[in-house]
Structures are given as structure tokens and as C-alpha cells.
Amino acid sequence: MAPGDLPKRLGVAVLGIPAVLILLYFGGWFLAVPLAALAAVGAREVSDMARARGIGPFDSLALPATAGLVLLANWAGAWGPFAGSALLVLMLLAGASLFTALAFRSTGGAPLGAVAVTLFSTVYLGLSLATVPFLHALPTRLEWGGAAASPWMGAAAVALPLAATWVGDSAAYFGGSAWGRHGPKLAPSISPNKSWIGTACGLVGSALAVIVWRVVVGGVFPEGRLPDLAMAGAIGIVLGIGAQVGDLAESMLKREAGVKDSGSLFPGHGGALDRLDALVVTLPLSYALLLLAGAIG
């Protein structure tokens, strides 16, 4: 991070965190519509990185499909009702992409790459962010609070991956800066600044974040719906690993494209994908882990 970026990053945090809390409190379409727009922006950034390598995906197909998956997830409310419709969207997208490539691209126009990136960007952003409405809807759908369920229950469910990801990322950054500068690197060919020490600090930070999350929301959710503290720590470590994988995956894409940031949507932070890189893994992973932990009974 450049020294001049710190004030910008703090400014985005001061404005962004309250905005996220407001969206999570109200949920529903109030959350889904801006989330769908953010997913589309992320998909566009993936396309832009592909263009830097001479591949031209079909944004007119990928962006509405990506946003549509998030909106469809909010309408469905759970994975079961969503899955069939999502598969249909992806099948139609694949067919439309192939037809568009056949009609407007020659073999010299990288048709295979165009179709592949069109589908990848939609799955990468659309399916991952579609789990936000699922997480938010769990307390209401399962009547955790009865008829008078608190709006904060949905916000608390989504806060699990957010806390694990953001606290882990901060712990990895500060721990790596303090102790990992001259130590062994995690993946030097992909992200030269990431150290094993920073990674370990990030995993500890994620574990502690989920433990704190469990203590804080313990008074919101009914007994028996949440993992115990030991399980919460284990979930935090798994989410921390997932966050590292997501971060490295985006770094790999940016390195191939030869760009420092995926975009410039957030001053000092980069693009949408730079903020979502770890969350595209930890959001669906959190949903799966809560299911495995018996949190939804």
C-alpha cells in the first residue's frame, strides 16, 4: 500500500462501513439491488483484465447474467429453490455466448477465450455473491426469532464471513509488515509481498474474529443454533484459509493481466474485485460451514 493511499482507505472505510451496516439491517431488495450492481462491476473488471491479454468477453451477456443471479437468489431465498433457475441462467448464457462467438468472432478473435471468460466472470461473481441473500434470509426463513425476528439477525449471519475476512486481512497485513518482511514468502511468483508469517497472523485473526462474532451474536440467536467457541475458532481458520485462496486467485489474474488493481471504484482500495477477492470464497464457504456445523438445524 502506497503511503498516500492510507487517507483514501480510511475515508472509504468511514463511509463504507455505515453504508454496509444499513444495507444489512434492511436486507431484502434494499440489499440485493446494490449487491447485484457490485457483482456486475466485478464481472466487468474480470473482462477488462482478459482484454489486457487480447481476449474480448461478451459483457452484454455476462453483466446482466451476473446481476441477475444475485437478484434471483434474493427472490428464491434459499439454495434449493435457486439452484434450478441458476443452472438455467448459466445454460442460456453458455448457449448465447457460443452463438455470439459463432456470429461475430472468427477463429482469430479468440472465441474460446471469450466464451470461457464470459461464463467464468458470471460464476465467479454471480454465484458467490448470491449466497449473501441466503445468509441474510436464514434467521427469518427458519423462524429463529419467531414472529418478531430482529432485522439484526440477518445482518449478524452475513457478518460472519465479513468479520473473518476483514479482520484476517488486517491481521495478515500488519503481522506480515511487522515480522514477515525478510521471512519465507507464501507465493512469491503470484504475490511477492505475502509471507508465511503474515498468513499465520491472518489465520489467527480470522479465528479470533469468529470467536468474538460467536460471543456477540450469542444473545441474538436462540441456543443451539450456533457453534460453540471451539467450533467457532475452527470455522475461523477454515474461512481464513479460504480468504487467502481467494486473495491469491485474484492476484494471479491481475499478474497475468499486468495490472496492479482490478479497477478504481474505491479510492485507495482499487476495484470491486479487489474488495471482493477473498469474499467470493468466504461467503459461500460460510454458508456451507454453518450448514455443516448444524447452525440451521
User: pLDDT > 70: what percent of the chain?
Assistant: 87
The per-residue pLDDT for 245 is 95
Question: Could you count the other beta carbons within 10 Å of the beta carbon of residue 187?
Answer: 15
Higher-scoring residue by pLDDT: 116, 174: 116
With 60 as the cut, is the pLDDT of residue 294 above it?
A: no
Assess whether pLDDT exceeds 70 at residue 146.
no
DSSP H helix total and E strand total for the chain: 12, 2
Domain ranges of the chain: 5-292
Q: What is the pLDDT of residues 69-126, one digit of tens each?
A: 999 999 998 888 999 999 999 999 999 999 999 998 888 888 999 999 999 999 999 9
Phi, psi dihedrals of residue 264, rounded to the nearest 5°? -135, 30
Q: Which amino acid is at 34?
A: P
Choose among 200, 184, 39, 48: nearest CA to 126: 39
* pTM of the predicted model as reported, rounded to 2 decimal places: 0.88
